[in-house]
Chains A and B, each alone.
Chain A
């Protein structure tokens, strides 16, 4: 079926790239410090597996938790802004302002505020992933067809019914688009937070490995990280598919 055919080409391309990489490293004798061969990365993965797993759990947990919080908070914020004009006036300009800030650069502040550890890491990850969700959701809620809203009003629909039956279904595809960005941003936030200061997590591990010039371990840790990030992204895509089947949303 098509499902079987679909990943075949990219998979083949990836395998080809790996083979090319291995061949290049061997043939040109690239020092492992610069570019370890896929083989040595695999060895590193295997040897450091327990350590990697522990730190992956820390980073993955923080990022996933932050993602879920950002999702809930973003949806709540956007809904509030649609339901209450006052909230819109108070929040919207600030939302736009924050959109222009280089948010990831604010990481060290969270350490100042919340100290080292999980709370500051997660707060930072929530902070960077909240905005894509809030803005996408707001755009979606506002994209509802005004004629449909009029129609609903004409039949005596309440504000809540309009929200539930017209705005929410329209917003769903936008929300998923925002959630995909947020999934990547949550991991970005968690890892950058660990770069800045941490005592655990894949980001911290990578920085330790950089200090020791242990390039195979850097690659191994980053590979784990990429897989984790892609997995969260894939979960969002799966949820989107399920939602589309369940509610038949467009796009």
Chain B
């Protein structure tokens, strides 16, 4: 459960963060001074039209891009560069083709020079949880797209990060696999309780998984709407078929559509 006490340090906080890319001939304003935080144990979903600056937000949270204005705090400290306790996942799994699934999951340990023996149990446990037991020795090219993305989740979680950043992690998958992956993540979530930012195009995914949803405006990104998802945990995927759930998704759809109309007017 999100820790709501005001004294608790947030996992990450954006203070008036803005980003302009020095493109030519005109600089490109991607993010317009946004402020928000993610509490410890909270899963925050970010929805918004394509190209509005969501990935840019996430890249800044990962320490891969520097904000041009404002600042970021990670666990109460200023964020400079990639943080050891942050796990990241992108749209494509980018497993290294010459490593087995297990070695791919252990790759972060390799880079951080942590002996594999220390984390291999955890890696196996994660693989089992996402349903990849028996595929540890397989090569990425022998897996389906969904299985590769499961391996990528395990890789992001193997060093037990306290913040997980996910940029449309399932949008390269087909609709059925995608819902399945949402369920896998939901299940994994109820067990681990990490802080997370989850960028998605799917309203269903956002409401089903998140504690809170931010809807971004068109570029440059600002927070157009913030919504606390009222459903208790643990949640069941069947929640998505209830009228309460549908009411919320309909509301969000309306907000997004209104944002687009405002742009056209």
User: A–B direct touch, CB within 8 Å, in complex?
Assistant: no
A: which residues have CB within 8 A of B?
A: none
B: which residues have CB within 8 A of A?
A: none
